[in-house]
């Protein structure tokens, strides 16, 4: 008997995604993906808000090769809380082809941080989405920042667009590189030049330590797959205005989607619609993530 029962409304990732038509440049980094368990080996934490299907490192590495991706950045998923062992195990198995983004608590020890650094962790994630984690005060995050600063790590933040104004002061006080997940989760039914997305663009424009993941059309869209037409103008805008501070990723295995499961091949075929020249594609897929996660190394 498996230790965990998957949520009744859970959508599994596609077992055989299509091979993309768009050929990714050599050195492409999938800068946002996760591993889940397997739960029998790496148990999900009691405080989790969802119980996913297993999606282990071997399946992730198969997907990497199928899509033509060269490297991965594996982001600790909230179902594993601050137990980073599944993610770190995947880093160890990647032969240097994966970096990690951890979740830590303020009482994390320097020895634990050093071990994660050696494994390839280069950032922590602060998650402000209440359906995924319980809220914490700024002080909690400040204590983490103090501990990771000596390692030169950056900070990944995940929040809802409606929350940005409230969190602005704290976010802009961070003295490190800050990477925003999924373009700050815009409501793509609102105008591109509307107040909400303008505030987000202002954040990136006025703070050159901020980077953006142009990820998750499948999570943001209302018009639907496979072309995600309503997301295109938002992602293009970000890529064209901040070409040196954007990242791309699959978000495999796509947690908590309720309406459709994307075909990962189609997510790759989406790239030329948002990064419309070879030069922009190279920055988005290779140059920027390599600079951020494999500093000093060339693909
Ligand atoms: C994502 C998005 C989600 C989940 C998580 O760590 C997570 O559990 O990030 C979500 O449900 O929106 O980035 O994978």
pLDDT, tens only, 2-15:
799 999 999 999 99
Q: Please give the number of the atom of ligand 1 that sits closest to the Cα of 251.
A: 14
Among protein residues, the one with the nearest Cα to ligand 1's atom 5 is 77
Q: Considering its fold, how many domains does the chain have in total?
A: 1
In this structure, is residue 141 part of a structural domain? yes
Instruction: Decide whether any atom of ligand 1 lies within 6 Å of the 255 Cβ.
Output: yes
**Cis preceding-peptide flag for 240 (omega within 30 of 0):** no
Instruction: Decide whether any atom of ligand 1 lies within 6 Å of the 132 Cβ.
Output: yes
Under the banding of pLDDT at 50, 70 and 90, the label for residue 297 is: confident
List pLDDT tens digits, range 184-226: 999 999 999 999 999 999 999 999 999 999 999 999 999 999 9
Q: Which of 251, 263, 264, 287 is catalytic?
A: 251
pLDDT at 2: 79
In this structure, is residue 136 part of a structural domain? yes
In this structure, is residue 74 part of a structural domain? yes
In this structure, is residue 5 part of a structural domain? no
pLDDT at 298: 73
Under the banding of pLDDT at 50, 70 and 90, the label for residue 61 is: very high
Lowest mean pLDDT among 178-187, 257-266, 290-299: 290-299
- For tokens 């000596």, the residue is 150
Q: Please give the number of the atom of ligand 1 that sits closest to the Cα of 132.
A: 8
- Determine what percent of the chain is predicted with pLDDT higher than 90: 97
In this structure, is residue 276 part of a structural domain? yes
pLDDT at 52: 98
> Which residues constitute the domain of residue 106?
29-293
In this structure, is residue 159 part of a structural domain? yes
Mean pLDDT value across residues 117-138: 97
Mean pLDDT value across residues 29-33: 98
Indicate which CATH number applies to the domain containing 102: 3.20.20.140
- Give the Cα separation of 131 and 86 in Å (integer): 22
Q: Please give the number of the atom of ligand 1 that sits closest to the Cα of 50.
A: 8
**Cis preceding-peptide flag for 138 (omega within 30 of 0):** no
> Is pLDDT of 155 > 80?
yes
> Is pLDDT of 101 > 90?
yes
In this structure, is residue 39 part of a structural domain? yes
Active site residue 251: yes
How many other β-carbons are positioned within 10 Å of the β-carbon of residue 194?
12
Instruction: Decide whether any atom of ligand 1 lies within 6 Å of the 256 Cβ.
Output: yes
- Ligand 1 centroid to residue 9 C-alpha, Å: 16
- Give the Cα separation of 239 and 257 in Å (integer): 25
Under the banding of pLDDT at 50, 70 and 90, the label for residue 64 is: very high
In this structure, is residue 10 part of a structural domain? no
Hey, what's the torsion of the CAs at 245, 246, 247, 253, to 10 degrees? 130
- Ligand 1 centroid to residue 132 C-alpha, Å: 7
- Ligand 1 centroid to residue 182 C-alpha, Å: 10
- Give the Cα separation of 187 and 220 in Å (integer): 7
Instruction: Decide whether any atom of ligand 1 lies within 6 Å of the 119 Cβ.
Output: no
Q: In whole numbers, what is the pLDDT of the chain averaged over residues?
A: 97
pLDDT at 1: 73
Under the banding of pLDDT at 50, 70 and 90, the label for residue 94 is: very high
Instruction: Decide whether any atom of ligand 1 lies within 6 Å of the 103 Cβ.
Output: no
pTM of the model: 0.97
pLDDT at 265: 98
Under the banding of pLDDT at 50, 70 and 90, the label for residue 80 is: very high
Classify residue 43 by burial, with Cβ atoms within 10 Å: 0-12, 13-18, 19+: middle
Q: Please give the number of the atom of ligand 1 that sits closest to the Cα of 32.
A: 13
- Give the Cα separation of 231 and 75 in Å (integer): 23
- Give the Cα separation of 82 and 169 in Å (integer): 26
Instruction: Decide whether any atom of ligand 1 lies within 6 Å of the 264 Cβ.
Output: no
Of 278, 295, 253, 293, residue with least CA distance to 31: 293
- Ligand 1 centroid to residue 168 C-alpha, Å: 21
Mean pLDDT value across residues 13-25: 97
Contacts of 2 (CB under 8 A, 6+ apart): 39, 40
Mean pLDDT value across residues 278-288: 98
């Amino acid at each position: 008997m498996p230790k965990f029962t998957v949520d009744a409304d859970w959508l599994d990732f596609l077992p055989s995604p299509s091979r993309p038509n768009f050929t990714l440049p050599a050195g492409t980094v999938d800068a946002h993906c996760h591993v889940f368990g397997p739960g029998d080996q790496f148990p999900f934490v009691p405080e989790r808000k969802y119980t996913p299907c297993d999606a282990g490192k071997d399946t992730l590495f198969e997907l990497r090769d199928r899509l033509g991706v060269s490297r991965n950045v594996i982001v600790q998923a909230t179902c594993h809380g601050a137990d980073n062992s599944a993610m770190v195990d995947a880093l160890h198995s990647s032969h240097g082809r994966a970096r990690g983004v951890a979740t830590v608590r303020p009482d994390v020890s320097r020895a634990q941080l050093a071990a994660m650094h050696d494994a390839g962790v280069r950032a922590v994630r602060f998650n402000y989405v209440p359906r995924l984690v319980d809220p914490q005060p700024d002080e909690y995050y400040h204590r983490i920042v103090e501990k990771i600063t000596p390692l030169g790590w950056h900070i990944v933040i995940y929040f809802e667009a409606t929350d940005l104004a409230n969190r602005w002061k704290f976010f802009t006080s961070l003295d490190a590189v800050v990477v925003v997940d999924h373009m700050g989760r815009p409501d793509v039914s609102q105008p591109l030049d509307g107040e909400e997305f303008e505030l987000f663009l202002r954040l990136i424009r006025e703070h050159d330590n901020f980077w953006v993941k142009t990820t998750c059309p499948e999570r943001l869209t209302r018009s639907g797959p496979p072309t995600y037409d309503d997301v295109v103008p938002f992602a293009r805008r970000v890529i064209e205005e901040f070409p040196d501070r954007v990242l791309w990723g699959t978000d495999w295995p796509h947690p908590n989607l309720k309406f459709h499961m994307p075909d990962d091949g189609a997510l790759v075929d989406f790239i030329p619609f948002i990064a419309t020249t070879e030069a922009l594609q190279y920055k988005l897929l290779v140059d920027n993530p390599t600079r951020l996660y494999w500093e000093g190394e060339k693909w």
